[in-house]
């Protein structure tokens, strides 16, 4: 595996990804969705908490949809369309491919999230809320989650079809965000349900670690430590998923 080849594949994947016309449509839709915040601002009589909550939720929701759209077939397409032949018959390894695809797709996901974040920050500024630096912190946490999510999609697309990858990613995303709430709730129920939910809680990633949207809009103090821990958590999960993606791809019959 060489850093140079990873970089070459990253650049190629990024270029390919951001030239997708459907992506432009999705980003435009996302921007419009966030602009709805202007309408909401009127309804809520300029309530900044409402405006920021809706805006940040919009950036998260559309950003996640775009990431799934871009990533659900990232490796599958390479195998099915046999474009991998061009890469692997050259001095490039399976590891180069997995990492290059991951970083290229992650770069595209970061770009689209930042574009929508710019619209969000513009809306808050227009509504007299100034530069929402705390909102930007929530976006940074979202980018950490996106890193995990892109790695998950890279892994899923190496082992299954785009439809299966999309469904599995959506389920993991859902459970990742609701498992901590579920753990609290099953404490009262107990028995097998509690054991099952506890096991799932430890097996599945806890994506609530990346959700600080409520914290930032309600002005709860922020510190650097949880951010560093969340970054390490995302990096660990991403590394494990990418390793498995590599192992599965290597065993695949080309």
Partner 1 sequence: MYGRRAVVDGVSLVIEKNKVFGFLGQNGAGKTTAMKMMVGLLRPDAGSVSIAGRSVLESETREIIGFMPEAPYFYERLTGFEFLKFCGDLFPRHRKKTGAEYEALLKKVGIFEAKDAPIRNYSKGMKQRLGFAQSLVNDPEYVFLDEPLDGLDPIGRREIKEIIKLLKQEGRTIFLNSHILYDTEELCDEVGVIHKGKLLYAGSVKDFCSGKPLEDQFIATVEAHNK
Q: Considering beta carbons, is residue 11 or 177 the nearer one to partner 1?
A: 11
- What is the C-alpha separation between 88 and 85, in angstroms, rounded? 5
Q: Considering beta carbons, is residue 4 or 219 the nearer one to partner 1?
A: 4
User: Token pair of 18, please?
Assistant: 């951001």
In the region spanning residues 189 to 208, those forming contacts with partner 1, defined by CB under 8 A, are none
Q: Considering beta carbons, is residue 1 or 38 the nearer one to partner 1?
A: 1
Among 30, 22, 207, 11, CA closest to 108: 11
CB neighbour list of residue 184: distance below 8 Å, 6 or more residues apart: none
16 binds partner 1 (CB under 8 A): yes
108 binds partner 1 (CB under 8 A): no
Q: Considering beta carbons, is residue 79 or 118 the nearer one to partner 1?
A: 79
User: Token pair of 54, please?
Assistant: 């809706």
Angle between helices 94-126 and 48-71 (to 10 degrees): 160
In the region spanning residues 20 to 39, those forming contacts with partner 1, defined by CB under 8 A, are 20
In the region spanning residues 47 to 106, those forming contacts with partner 1, defined by CB under 8 A, are 81-83, 85-93
Residue of 15, 163, 228, 240 interacting with partner 1 (CB under 8 A): 15
CB neighbour list of residue 67: distance below 8 Å, 6 or more residues apart: 105, 109, 112, 146, 149, 150, 153
Size of the site for partner 1 (CB under 8 A): 24
What is the binding site for partner 1 (CB under 8 A)?
2, 4-5, 8, 11-12, 15-16, 19-20, 81-83, 85-93, 253-254
């Amino acid at each position: 595996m060489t850093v140079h080849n990873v970089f070459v594949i990253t650049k190629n994947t990024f270029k390919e990804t951001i030239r997708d016309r459907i992506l432009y449509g999705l980003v435009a839709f996302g921007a419009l969705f966030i602009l709805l915040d202007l309408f909401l601002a009127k309804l809520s009589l300029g309530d900044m908490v409402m405006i920021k909550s809706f805006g940040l939720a919009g950036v998260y929701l559309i950003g996640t949809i775009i990431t799934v759209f871009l990533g659900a077939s990232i490796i599958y397409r390479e195998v099915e369309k046999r474009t991998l032949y061009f890469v692997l018959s050259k001095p490039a390894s399976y590891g180069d491919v997995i990492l290059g695809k991951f970083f290229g797709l992650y770069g595209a996901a970061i770009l689209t999230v930042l574009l929508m974040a710019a619209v969000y920050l513009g809306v808050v500024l227009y509504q007299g809320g100034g530069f929402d630096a705390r909102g930007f912190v929530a976006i940074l946490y979202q980018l950490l989650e996106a890193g995990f999510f892109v790695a998950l999609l890279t892994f899923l697309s190496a082992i299954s079809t785009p439809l299966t990858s999309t469904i599995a990613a959506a389920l993991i995303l859902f459970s990742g965000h609701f498992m901590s709430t579920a753990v609290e709730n099953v404490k009262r129920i107990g028995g097998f349900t509690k054991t099952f939910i506890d096991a799932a809680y430890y097996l599945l990633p806890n994506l609530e670690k990346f959700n600080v949207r409520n914290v930032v809009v309600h002005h709860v103090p922020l510190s650097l430590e949880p951010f560093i821990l969340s970054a390490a958590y995302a990096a660990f999960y991403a590394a494990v998923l990418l390793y498995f993606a590599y192992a599965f791809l290597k065993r695949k019959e080309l």
